[in-house]
Amino acid sequence: MRRKTIYFILFLSVILIGFGIFKWQQTNYAVFSDHEKMVALGDSLTHGVGEKFGNGYVDDLERYLEQKKNAFVQVDNYGIPNQRTDGLLDQMKQPELKQDVADADYILLFIGTNDLIDSNGGDLYEINEDKIDQGQESYSENLEAILEKLRNANSEAPILLLGLYNPYPDSKKIDEIMEDWNAESKKIVDDYERTKFIATNDIFKEKSTEYFSDALHPNKKGYQLIARKIVKEYDF
């Protein structure tokens, strides 16, 4: 009899705990009047490499949208470190990603840094302009294909393409290359409706260790600068 009583108490406790969690979830979501979905695509900068906790600018943007829209913002971050545009095109064949893009209210795209670096042999120490020009041609073709697929999957959601920034601002040559790639990207973006190019190169013109975790990736403060630039440039 005593054993049955103990089992009953344990069973009742589980029920009460489960009910409490359910009520907490209801209360937690009740503070929001709406639900929105954001899909982020790209490389390590979208993934958030360099920030110890969180997912970089994507997390900062999520918090901003929740406050401004009074909405629960679901974020699907598909950023992959070292990813290039050709890799993203392959990734976009995944059924889950295709569905998330189709359902998205906002689409973020931060890609191209690895295309540029890899076209020059894996670093930017000695510039080979011919190889970089070839890399830019491939990048531009892939970017057009990516935007075409995104727009075909979702004709309404705004697509925000973040431009590349120069991780070595002391190098005038690299800065010129970045600006050239960005100009081409903006030209491509301008051909698509509800698609906007947002420059980031101006954010880090004077590079400081205060904003970077390594030679390329921002830290928390650096990612916050990117998020603020997005909010400044696009009226959500």
Query: pLDDT digit string (tens) for 21-50?
Result: 444 344 444 455 589 999 999 999 999 999
112: CB partners within 8 A, 6+ apart = 85, 139, 143, 164, 181, 185
What is the domain range of residue 58? 34-233
**166: which 2 tokens?**
């120069």
- 157-211 residue pLDDT tens: 999 999 999 988 889 999 999 999 999 999 999 999 999 999 999 998 877 889 9
Q: What is the CATH number of the domain that holds 120?
A: 3.40.50.1110
Same domain, 126 and 15: no
Question: Are residues 64 and 118 part of one domain?
Answer: yes
CB neighbour burial string for 52-64, b if at least 16 within 10 angstroms, e if fewer: eeebbbbbbbbeb
pTM: 0.85
Query: How many domains, in total, are found in the chain?
Result: 2
Same domain, 38 and 88: yes
Angle between helices 95-103 and 129-153 (to 10 degrees): 70
93 and 189 within one domain: yes
User: CA-CA distance, 118 to 36, in Å (whole number)?
Assistant: 36
Closest CA to 82 of 49, 51, 114, 107: 114
Which tens digit of pLDDT belongs to each residue from 71-130?
A: 999 999 999 999 999 999 999 999 999 999 999 999 999 999 999 999 999 999 999 999
In the chain, % of residues over pLDDT 70: 86
